[in-house]
Structure 1
Amino acid sequence: MVKILLLEDDVSLCEIIEEYLSDEGYEIDACDNAKEALELAYERHYELWILDVKVPRGDGFSLLKELRALGKNTPAIFITSLNTTDDLKQGFDSGCDDYIRKPFELAELGIRIKSLLKRGFSHKKEDFEELGEGFKFSLTSQNLYHFDKIIPLPKKETMLLNLFLQNKNHFLSVEKIFEELWEYGEEPSELSLRAYIKDLRKILGKEKITNQRNRGYCYVGS
């Protein structure tokens, strides 16, 4: 079943949308603030996000920007009363795939969802790297899964795991890792790197990531 995250702080409208989409055969997780939406979108897998913009504890534009920065590419639709051209531009600049101005007909929302999901399923299929013991990493969405449950990772640990998988069975120097993980202006930290390695080993197994003096670190995979 297609799972959709719905962020809408108008209780009546949220219930109406949730009931309509449930009747259409979708599984809905609804929330009313940006902080909870961020946590749900980060921890769970959805085929679509439907986001209001003017919500408590943040706003939809900033929320989507943060999720895109974390490598999350789930299709997103904004539903909002903001209706100027500048608002529309800001919405698409933050990474949305569609933008619906309130008020709207539920049938219109349904049509746009079907169109977006059709494009998403045909162009955004997940490319998984199997890691053993039920773990797999999506090279598409940058999510780590244990069977079908997302295992939340901090941003730099996600980037590090992705880097290791792109260079499987090859040693990466500490300098190379610093270059890839730390942005311009950030101060690289070997202590932080060791903590990221330790956390990944706890999840995947100590034997998965080896290290040698003067050579760096290596992800061991088949």
Structure 2
Amino acid sequence: MKPKIFLLEDDIELSNTVVQFLSANNFEVVQSFDAQDAIEKLYEEHFDLLLLDVKVPIKNGIELLKEIRQDGNETPAIFITSLHGVDDVTSGFEAGCDDYIRKPFALKELLARIEAVIKRHYKSIDKIVRIDDRSSFDTLNFILKVDGNRVSLKPKEAKLLAFFLQNQNKPLTKEEIFNNIWDYNETPNEGSLRTFVKVLRKYLGKNRIETIKDVGYRYVSE
């Protein structure tokens, strides 16, 4: 499964160029050209990283990020900006961004920043998160390996494991999981969620994912 990136950029030519480049580097990219459309898509779909232009129609990128952070969206974010002042950069980080890149930029630099932020977000020195002595998870390609062998996970099982690893030791409500694992046009199903958890426990151990009665689940790190 490809990592999914959300791109808010009102320069259509630049946006298309970034999409083509990232798609060629094994990312799925969803585009938006103004803040209102961006808000709708961000509430409808789960993303692994946000690329937000600061100067966009309706509401600037900094205000947009503040709003979704207040609503609990912790997806890592990189600002794309033509602003060069220290105050502007400070405002971006105060809003909750993880990095920024100034226009004009080289596409290779953008890729390097994206990969670095994703690695930091998963608290790993590289894209491979070591779960225990037997298991590891590739956060960029969503591949679980146990005893050196690749485990065949369904897309939602892989997304659920990635979400757990992003929120280690943190109680997650079923609603939070539904919003991050199911797409907006799908109907969440508690039975399916229990099945996904059961599959992950089969490979990672029963104690790795704790059930919190009437709330949801918690991934327990070592």
Q: Please indicate the TM-score interval, normalised by the length of the shorter structure.
A: 0.5 to 0.7
Q: Report the Cα distance in structure 1 between the residues aligned to 2:180 and 2:100, rounded to whole angstroms.
A: 33
User: Following TM superposition, where does structure 1 have runs of at least 4 consecutive aligned residues deviating by more than 4 angstroms?
Assistant: 219-222
The AA in structure 2 aligned to 1:86 is D
Give the structure 2 partner of residue 86 of structure 1: 87
Aligned to 1:39: 40
Which runs of 5 or more residues in structure 2 are unaligned?
125-138, 140-161, 166-170, 186-211, 218-222
2:163 to 115, 126, 131: 126
- TM (norm. structure 1) is 0.60
Cα deviations by residue, 1:136-186 (Å, 9 ceiling, x for unpaired)? xx729972417931569xxxxxxxxxxxxxxx66xxxxxxxxxxxxxxxxx
Q: Considering only CA atoms, is the larger Rg found in Structure 1 or Structure 2?
A: 1
Give the aligned residue type for 2:164: D
Structure-2-length-normalised TM-score: 0.60
1:77 aligns with 2:72: no
1:18 CA displacement: 0.6
The answer to whether the Cα contact below 8 Å between 1:73 and 1:141 also exists between their aligned partners in 2 is no
The aligned runs of 1:44-123 (5 Å cut-off) are 44-122=45-123
Matched, 1:145 2:182: no
Q: Distance in 2 between matches of 1:9 and 1:31?
A: 7
Give 3-state SS (helix, strand or coil) of 1:104's partner.
coil
Distance between the aligned counterparts of 1:119 and 1:149, measured in 2?
24
- 1:6 aligns with 7
Could you say which structure has the greater relative contact order, defined with CA pairs below 8 angstroms and 6 or more residues apart? 2
State the alpha-carbon separation in 2 of the partners of residues 147 and 47 from structure 1.
Answer: 10
Q: Is the 8 A contact 1:71 1:141 kept in 2?
A: no
Shift of the 221–92 alpha-carbon distance from structure 1 to 2, 3 Å rule, reads: closer
**Kept after mapping to 2: 8 A contact 1:72/1:142:** no
Partner-residue secondary structure (3-state), 1:57: coil
Report the Cα offset of residue 64 of structure 1. 0.2
Identity %, equivalent residues: 44
SS at match of 1:54: coil
Change (3 A) 1:146 1:104: closer
C-alpha contact (below 8 Å) 1:43/1:150 kept by paired residues: yes
Paired amino acid for 1:148:
I
- Root mean square deviation, CA, Å: 3.1
Matches of 1:62 and 1:28, distance apart in 2: 22
